[in-house]
Amino acid sequence: MGRKGGRRSLKRKPAPQFWPIHRKEDIWVVKPSPGPHPISRCLPLTLVLRDMLGVAKTRKEVKAIISEEKVLVDGKVQKEELFPTGVMDVISISDIEKTYRVLPSEKGLILHPVEKDEAGFKLCRIENKSTLSGGHVQLNLHDGRNVLIKVKDPQKPEEDLYQTFDTLKINLPEQEVIGHIKLTEGASALIAKGKNTGKHGKIVAIEKRAGQKHRGSLVTIEDEKGNRFQTTVDYVFAVGDAKPQISLPEVE
């Protein structure tokens, strides 16, 4: 009988190019466990602690740090060393008393240091929505979580304020919705995928074409220097109304 299921191991050569590892030092590299982010858009926790932050020299030391409950992801203790962290995840390490937010950049994914007041919330993009029995709305977010929005009167569409590709502001670790950012002209946005990954600025135009899904609509973003970038709605992450609600790295 043949082997069933995927491989538990991962070689360094086919690993995502943005992982900060030496390709020819060893044969194998850690493979992230199944989780909220796919392998092509995640950073395994072992890689974050050992290769990016240098708080551990070996995988064994990483396991020791995690077993002592010194690492938090999105405000909760994370005990899985191969847990896949992705865009907008908040990673806190008590040993060095620092907090980082995973953000997209032209190099892939980076760890952006954040202050204590900003570490108390996370931004999540609405990937899909569905109406449940009773008229309540379920929102599917980019990090795999689902949020139930209770509607008092299903006959009143104005109660449903949330649209696909809008952003929810969620407090940590309570995981409650405390804000809503609409993907619209004038909003601050970050490009999360594509050749302009990491660029951010204000949305100046959203071009909707007849017969085309909203996901493919063309978005024009202008940065602080007046440079303009075009991408599709599918690649855009709204991060604020007039100004970003999170700190963002400077783009060269």
CA distance 37 to 125: 13
Looking at residue 213, its pLDDT comes to 81
CA distance 182 to 165: 8
Looking at residue 4, its pLDDT comes to 64
Looking at residue 212, its pLDDT comes to 74
CATH number of 188-240: 2.30.30.30
Looking at residue 204, its pLDDT comes to 96
Q: What is the mean pLDDT of each run of 10 residues along the chain (252 residues)?
A: 71 92 89 93 95 93 94 94 96 92 93 92 95 86 90 69 93 92 95 93 90 84 93 95 91 66
Looking at residue 166, its pLDDT comes to 96
Tell me the backbone φ, ψ of residue 109, rounded to 5 degrees.
-120, 140
Looking at residue 2, its pLDDT comes to 60
SS3 sequence, the chain? CCCCCCCCCEECCCCCCCCCCCCCCCCEECCCCCCCCCHHHCEEHHHHHHHHCCCCCCHHHHHHHHHCCCEEECCEECCCCCCEECCCCEEEECCCCEEEEEEEECCEEEEEEECCCHHHEEEEEEEEEEECCCCCEEEEECCCCEEEECCCCCCCHHHCCCCCCCEEEEECCCCCEEEEECCCCCCEEEECCCCCCCCEEEEEEEECCCCCCHHHCEEEEECCCCCEEEEEHHHEEEEECCCECCCCCCCC
- Pinpoint the residues of the chain covered by CATH 2.40.50: 121-164
Class in CATH terms, 10-114: alpha beta
pTM of the model: 0.91
Looking at residue 111, its pLDDT comes to 96
CA distance 168 to 51: 31
Q: Beta 218-222 vs 167-171: how paired, if at all?
A: unpaired
CB atoms within 10 A of CB 113: 12
- Pinpoint the residues of the chain covered by CATH 3.10.290.10: 10-114
CA distance 225 to 20: 30
C-alpha dihedral sign at 135, 139, 145, 150: negative
Chain centroid to Cα 252, Å, comes to 22
Looking at residue 155, its pLDDT comes to 66
Looking at residue 133, its pLDDT comes to 80
Please tell us whether the domain made up of 121-164 is placed in CATH 2.40.50: yes
- Pinpoint the residues of the chain covered by CATH 2.30.30.30: 188-240
